[in-house]
């Protein structure tokens, strides 16, 4: 795979962002057509100014000062004041991979050639990215409406030799990092500060990483499902593609087929036809009686495709929104060479992204709800088809088995529900009512990331329980697919025949999931979730 990622303003994918964000060996370059468009846009802006056009952020002030007209001689000073004034985020800094994703999203948007940034300055932006210089971006404080002003201003300040960056493992002044990297700071002219900060690139960059990871988690969860079904002696026939042809939802059909195939060859899964014969032998013409077995599984097993299906379809929709935004221009105004004019607009507004992140949060909370219910079946001897209570095989009562793990998983599943109040509707006006309805898109993305992290821990305990239950039933009866996952986990995860703290093991299982080791391919993903 090439270590050069060409940026053209179009066709960039989530997976491209994720690869370059995590791998500092990936360099980006501006495509030739993009360079030509960037030059044309800047020249058009120059011409429009000479023609006497009044243009927002060029010869007017910005935000609540929009009614102030600004002479051209103050252009550079105003752009520098802009990025200094709005760099007001607070809190801990984003990780480097989030910063790199944000920088890439901004470079790609500017590379569309309608933002009137100079090619020289955008090329310096690219050079700074390629050198691995990561501006320090505080996480909290973006309204997500005139774009992610605070986060992008932190980047813009660093590009101009101000603020702080992480470089070669150290936090240092941006001016020192640029000097060490032999890059001259950007010198801003009219419109360029605005072009750098007026966009949705922080929420979009983070969303690219989140959705990429969510896709892999859902793919992994189908494998977790197969192992759980075996360990709980669920039934396979209900997942037959023949059944799901009668429902038209693509996600449901795909999940059912995947799980059905993963259960092939299992000696642990229940056979519905055999159960039917057993139950028929106990059916009396005269007596109504209860039996130990049942013809159907509980919803958290039987309805898995009907739950994972909409999750998959929702994430597919979110992915389309994120990639559309990634390959869009998101600043104001746009200077469009093919139209020969400047267009004031609201492309910086992050409502698409905010609502998409809310959809992602709903999908992930639903996933943690499903996992929580399966965990409860493992814990409850009345619902586990013969497993001991709390998967405690010996010294019951003296030992508590895996009871404590459910405290954690139930807590995080509950926390996820509390986090799932929609962010995209939480608008408050600001800037003297100039920004009178805001998106909070970056807040929604940050919240989705927290839900994703919690969900991974919940699923980690389900996976731990499934391995424990498989050993109790006889792990040699697992199917080929689930046996591969089981054996990989058993390389570091013991069978619990004594009570001990589960925390270190849960962290190891969570990393196992994050590294993509539960995916059907059995291969490690390019980066951690």
What DSSP character marks residue 381? G
The pLDDT of residue 295 is 73
The pLDDT of residue 75 is 87
The pLDDT of residue 527 is 46
Q: What is the pLDDT along the chain (529 residues), one digit of tens a residue?
A: 679 999 999 999 999 999 999 999 999 999 999 999 999 999 999 999 999 999 999 999 888 899 999 998 998 899 999 999 999 999 999 999 999 999 999 999 999 999 999 999 999 999 999 999 999 999 999 988 888 999 999 999 999 999 999 999 999 999 999 999 999 999 999 999 999 999 999 999 999 999 999 999 999 999 999 999 999 999 999 999 999 999 999 999 999 999 999 999 999 998 888 887 877 887 776 766 666 777 778 899 999 999 999 999 999 999 999 999 999 999 999 999 999 999 999 999 999 999 999 999 999 999 999 999 999 999 999 999 999 999 999 999 999 999 999 999 999 999 999 999 999 999 888 877 778 888 999 999 999 999 999 999 999 999 999 999 999 999 999 999 999 999 999 999 999 999 999 999 999 999 999 998 887 654 334 445 6
Give 238's contacts (C-beta < 8 A, 6+ positions apart). 272, 296, 297, 302
Q: What are the Cα distances from residue 382, in Å, to 64, 387, 466, 489?
A: 64, 9, 17, 27
Q: What angle do CA 209, 213, 219 make, to 5 degrees?
A: 155
Is residue 196 within 8 A of residue 140, CB to CB? The reply is no
Is residue 417 within 8 A of residue 179, CB to CB? The reply is no
CA separation for the pair 21, 98 (Å, rounded)? 7
According to DSSP, the residues that pair with 7 across neighbouring strands are 30
Domain ranges for the chain, please list them.
4-198, 209-328+335-515
The pLDDT of residue 293 is 74
Segment (H or E) for 321:
helix 304-326
Is residue 470 within 8 A of residue 232, CB to CB? The reply is no
pTM value surpassing 0.85: yes
Q: What are the Cα distances from residue 528, in Å, to 12, 305, 363, 516, 525?
A: 21, 26, 20, 7, 7
The pLDDT of residue 290 is 64
Please state which CATH number belongs to domain 209-328+335-515.
1.20.200.10
The pLDDT of residue 297 is 80
Alpha helices in 385-515 (DSSP H): 403-419, 441-473, 480-490, 503-514
Q: Is 209-328+335-515 the same fold as 4-198?
A: no
The pLDDT of residue 526 is 43
Active-site residues: which are they? 56
Name which CATH class applies to 4-198. mainly alpha
The pLDDT of residue 291 is 63
Q: CB-side exposure of 34: number of CA atoms within 13 Å?
A: 24
């Amino acid at each position: 795979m090439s270590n050069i990622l060409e940026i053209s303003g179009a066709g960039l994918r989530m997976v491209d962002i994720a690869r370059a964000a995590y791998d500092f060996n990936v360099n980006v370059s501006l495509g030739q057509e993009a360079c030509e468009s960037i030059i044309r846009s800047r020249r058009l802006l120059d011409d429009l100014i000479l023609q006497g056009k009044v243009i927002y952020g060029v010869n007017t002030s910005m935000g609540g000062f929009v009614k102030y007209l600004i002479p051209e001689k103050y252009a550079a000073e105003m752009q520098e004041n802009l990025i200094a004034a709005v760099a007001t985020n607070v809190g801990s800094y984003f990780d480097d991979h989030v910063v790199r994703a944000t920088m890439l999203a901004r470079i790609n948007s500017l590379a569309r050639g309608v933002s009137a940034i100079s090619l020289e300055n955008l090329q310096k932006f690219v050079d700074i990215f390629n050198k691995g210089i990561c501006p320090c971006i505080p996480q909290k404080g973006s309204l997500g409406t005139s774009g992610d002003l605070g986060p992008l201003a932190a980047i813009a300040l660093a590009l101009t030799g101000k603020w702080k960056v992480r470089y070669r493992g150290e936090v240092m002044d941006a001016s020192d990092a640029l000097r060490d990297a032999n890059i001259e700071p950007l010198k801003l002219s009219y419109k360029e500060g605005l072009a750098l900060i007026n966009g949705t690139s922080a929420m979009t960059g983070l969303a690219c990483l989140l959705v990429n990871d969510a896709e892999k988690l859902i793919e992994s969860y189908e494998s977790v499902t197969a192992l759980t079904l075996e360990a709980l002696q669920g039934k396979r026939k209900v997942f037959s593609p023949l059944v799901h042809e009668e429902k038209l939802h693509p996600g449901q059909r795909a999940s059912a087929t995947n799980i059905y195939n993963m259960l092939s060859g299992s000696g642990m899964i229940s056979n519905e036809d055999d159960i039917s014969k057993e139950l028929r032998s106990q059916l009396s013409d005269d007596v109504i009686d209860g039996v130990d077995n049942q013809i159907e599984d509980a919803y958290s097993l039987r309805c898995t495709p009907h739950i994972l299906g909409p999750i998959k379809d929702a994430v597919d929709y979110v992915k389309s929104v994120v990639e559309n935004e990634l390959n869009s221009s998101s600043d104001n105004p746009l200077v469009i060479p093919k139209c020969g004019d400047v267009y004031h607009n609201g492309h910086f507004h992050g409502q698409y992204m905010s609502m998409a992140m809310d959809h992602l949060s709903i999908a992930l909370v639903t996933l943690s709800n499903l996992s929580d219910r399966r965990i409860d079946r493992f814990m409850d001897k009345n619902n586990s088809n013969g497993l001991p209570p709390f998967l405690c095989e010996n010294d019951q009562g003296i030992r508590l088995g895996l009871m404590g793990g459910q405290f954690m998983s139930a807590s995080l599943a509950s926390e996820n529900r509390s986090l799932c109040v929609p962010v995209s509707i939480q608008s408050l006006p600001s800037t003297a009512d100039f920004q009178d309805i805001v998106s909070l898109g970056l807040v929604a993305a940050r919240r989705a990331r927290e839900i994703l992290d919690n969900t991974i821990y919940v699923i980690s305990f389900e996976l731990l329980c499934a391995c424990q239950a498989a050993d109790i039933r006889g792990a040699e009866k697992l199917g080929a697919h689930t046996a591969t996952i089981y054996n990989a986990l058993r390389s570091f995860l013991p069978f619990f025949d004594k009570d001990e703290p589960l925390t270190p093991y849960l962290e190891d299982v969570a990393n196992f999931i994050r590294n993509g080791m539960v995916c059907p391919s059995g291969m490690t993903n390019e980066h951690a979730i």
